[in-house]
Amino acid sequence: MTTHTDITTHLIENATRNIYDIVTIALTHTAQHQALVIYDNEDELTRIITQAYRNVLPNATFIDFHTCTHEEIIAMFDALNPRDLVVLIQSTDFRLNAFRIRIQLFQRKLKVIDHLHLYRNTPDSWETYINALAYDTTWYRGVGQRLKETLRHTHTLRIKSTDTELVVTGGLEIPKLNIGDYTDMENIGGTFPIGEVFTEAKDLSAMNGSLMVYAFADTDFNVAMHEPFRIDINNGIVVGWDINAPEAFKNVVAQVQTNERALIREIGFGLNRAITREHYLKDITAFERILGMHFSLGEKHTVYKKQGITADKTRYHVDLFPIVTNVYADGEILFENGGYIV
């Protein structure tokens, strides 16, 4: 009989293997630099991930966030040197002030690994989360870089979604990578799991057609799964949906429209092969790494500046997840049968 202890041991062992690769390959951390791990004890998955880091970083300093004052934690950060490593293992979201800790750490030139909102992962998805931490260097740096180069030179992008299609013309913005390769980057690290290439249309009005959506982010930033429903996009704006669209989606669109246009901005290509519709994660930040595509609804997307949109006045960036049958870049197949062809 498999016991709870057996399951926990298995998860810790798997997490230890994956985290070792994150620390040594993606973050290139060595014993020449210090490591500081800030954690809490609020959730069992948090405790599992923390133990894995204890295995990987036996000489690191481990601090329970809730046993120290904010001033004491800031003093610990101040004692570190550039390129030292800080790991944040958060059941929810640590705050020292109005800004996320990760931003302050990057300003200090520290390497950062951030595990966020772990409480949102129910026990039946813990293994999926841990599997999603696996760092396959060849996959991420190979497919990720080739996908970026293909999208960079694409003029027309066609996304087939069962019997519907969305067409983006006029080219795409220079894609950004989240693949654990921080070569020549100012900030080293980020939120894990990773695995994404994202861009947006150069001309946001040059998006027309329809998509079949099966999931979107609810008001609590959790993934809401639904029977697939069609949304219609005209000149980059969601203008309608079929009768099967859930009330929750209509409410999201209405909420966006109280402040801004129901605009489609981010075009994301997920690369994490451990995350699928069948094995999904409820936290939206983790789920958007799903092997497939996602789009954002609302005017907020601070990575790219667009004329007529003032970044600090935008409020909404709601992730939408469509069924993707095929993707074509200037007529060449980019994605089919659930996988990338690059």
Is the domain of 312 the same as that of 180? Answer: yes
Is the domain of 212 the same as that of 294? Answer: yes
Is the domain of 28 the same as that of 146? Answer: no
Is the domain of 121 the same as that of 159? Answer: no
Is the domain of 146 the same as that of 266? Answer: yes
In the prediction, which pLDDT does 2 show? 56
> Of 131, 154, 183, at which residue does a domain stop?
131
Is the domain of 223 the same as that of 312? Answer: yes
pLDDT-flagged residues of the chain (< 50): none
**Can you give the residue range of the structural domain that contains 230?**
137-340
Is the domain of 182 the same as that of 324? Answer: yes
188-212 pLDDT, tens digit each: 999 999 999 999 999 999 999 999 9
Strand partners, 340: 335
Is the domain of 336 the same as that of 308? Answer: yes
With contact defined as beta carbons under 8 Å apart, do 294 and 323 qualify? no
In the prediction, which pLDDT does 99 show? 58
Task: Show the tokens assigned to 222.
Answer: 């959790």
> Of 73, 97, 131, at which residue does a domain stop?
131
In the prediction, which pLDDT does 220 show? 73
Q: How many structural domains does the chain have? A: 2
Helices (H), the chain: 4-21, 44-56, 70-78, 101-107, 126-131, 137-138, 144-152, 247-257, 284-287
